Structure 1
Amino acid sequence: MRSTIKYFYTAILFVFSLNFSGIAQQKNITSGSNLYSAGYASAFIGGLYDAWYPYKSLHQHGDFGLGAPALLDGELIMLNGKFYKTQYTGKTIPVSDADKTPYAVVCFFHAAKVYKPGKGLNKATLFKYLDSVLTNQNGIYAIHINGNFKYVKTRAFPPVQQKPYLPLAAMLDRQHFFEFNTIKGDLVGYKLPVFMEGPHISGYHFHFLSVDKTSGGHIIDLLTDDITIEVDILDSYTMQLPQTPDFNSFDFKKDRKEEIKSVENGKKQ
């Protein structure tokens, strides 16, 4: 009788361990479908440029993304698990994991769909093409575009010097622009739905990194040549909010939609 009871409990423990293992594996599988944000987009746009979130911690949440360096010192990109920043001088350099960021969004990128437009596209027609294949207007998409570009125009901001920091839209005259002809590289970006506006930047948002990792920045304009578009379809998002006095006292009542459009396009709307 004791032997029977012993085998009965052993069987229960075995089944339980299988179920637990299955749950753990499922978590690992779905973890790649999450968009992770360190910071709140409209607060960053509104002037919260002090760094607070370690790059080292971002590696736990993604290997692909974009954001801003400390004190707005350029434009940030994450590709294949490595961080780079393009400074206002035009120089692009690796970023140490020991540094921190005021704002970044990342995910673990796994291409679910691949597209080859087969023709040259400017920024407007590229976005129109993406709209034609990314048909869920409330979908969350991570987008990697790799290949040859006939023309790329990017920008980066110089670092801010002292508080109080101006909102980003009030510093458009401080932008530095960079233009490249016949260049190979990567676009890292997202298409986010309107309902995520505020905490995130809705619509398309891309940063560029040249194949030799020496040039980059926030995309202002482009003309593609031969490119491949990879898309990851995300189904959740999480956010870590700054635990800082500046964030605690930030005024969220102001509507910054037009400011965000100006910052994205590099000019007042």
Structure 2
Amino acid sequence: MSYQHTPTASFLPLERHTIFQNSLMTALLDGIYDGQMTTSELLGHGNFGIGTFDALDGEMLIIDGICWQLNSDGTANKASLSARSPFAVVTNFVPRITASAPARLERGEVSAFIDGLLPSDNFMYAVKITGRFSRVDVRTVSRQHKPYPPMTEATGDDAHLTITDTTGVVAGFRTPVYERGISVPGCHVHFIDDARTTGGHILDFVLDEGLVEICPATDLNLRLPTTLEFGQADLAPDDTAAQIEVVENKKPRR
């Protein structure tokens, strides 16, 4: 097992760092899918992030300042700068903690490994894993039509794909439990291959070898929609945790 820690890996964040978020996870759960914010505006807040597009038209992954649209058919393409998003989380990625991951880890084991690198559970972290994967299970939401259904229904027929023997990037955020409803607690990550041809929202993976990079964050810049639909949405349902589990962690059909 090889560790290559930066000097700050075992200490609390020494510098303030901001994560920008457009809308709330509970707004998505309630079917608020109309995007008010363009890709161009999002890129003004960071070069790294994840989210979705207007009407849930695919998954979003921003890496190295380029916004990718991961489509329901498993393909990937550069998103238009005028494309709109109802939900996204972005930051300028500055890796302050790095470590080489042990070989042949499944997603749960990688999550535990990452948790062991963090100085505290109480901060937000942008997480990037670059490496070789023997398997990546992803799913991608499909474009919805009005009247929009709740997200637990909208993801009922989402597309699942297993990508094998690939190299690529896992990117996303580890969010504290106290942010449940604002964002997705725990690790919420998307994948794109190095060829930038395929990817999606990660359900599971096996990492053969890879480098883990972590960017701690201390500040959250939250932008709320100003639509009538958002104003009337139920943003505090009693079963928030259960709804998030359904839409985030459904296992692929084998």
TM-score (norm 1): 0.85
Residues 110-150 of structure 1, C-alpha deviations (whole Å, 9 max, x = no match): 00011112311001111111111124111211101001101
Residue 198 in structure 1 maps to residue 181 in structure 2: yes
> Highest CA radius of gyration, 1 or 2?
1
Amino acid at match of 2:241: K
Residue identity opposite 1:77 in structure 2:
L
Aligned position for 1:58: 42
What secondary structure does 1:130 align onto? helix
Shift of 1:245: 0.8
User: How many aligned residue pairs are there?
Assistant: 237
Does structure 2 retain, via aligned residues, the 8 Å contact 1:148–1:185? Answer: yes
Matched, 1:34 2:13: no
1:207 to 190, 197, 200: 190
CA distance in 1, matches of 2:40, 2:229: 23
Q: What does residue range 174-253 of structure 1 map to in structure 2 within 5 Å? A: 174-253=157-236
Show structure 1 runs of 5+ residues with no match: 1-29
Name the Cα RMSD after superposition: 1.4
1:160 is displaced (CA, Å) by 0.5
- Deviation, structure 1 residue 230: 0.4
More helix per residue: 1 or 2? 1
Aligned to 1:5: none
8 Å contact 1:172–1:266 — kept in the other structure?
Answer: no
The answer to whether the Cα contact below 8 Å between 1:49 and 1:72 also exists between their aligned partners in 2 is yes
> After superposition, where does 1:1-269 map in structure 2 within 5 Å?
33-163=17-147, 165-255=148-238, 256-266=240-250
Percent of pairs with identical residues? 27
Give deviations 1:193-217, integer Å, cap 9, x for gaps.
0111111111110000110100010
Task: Give the letter for the 2:197 counterpart.
Answer: T
Flag as ranges the 4+ runs of structure 1 deviating above 4 A: none
State the SS of the aligned residue for 2:28: helix
Mapped to 2, the partners of 1:118 and 1:162 lie a distance apart of 46
Query: Given residue 132 of structure 1, which amino acid in structure 2 is its aligned partner?
Result: G
Distance across 1 between alignment mates of 2:61 and 2:155 = 20
Read off the aligned partner of 1:213 and give its amino acid letter. R
Mind listing any 5+ residue stretches in structure 2 that lack a counterpart? 1-14
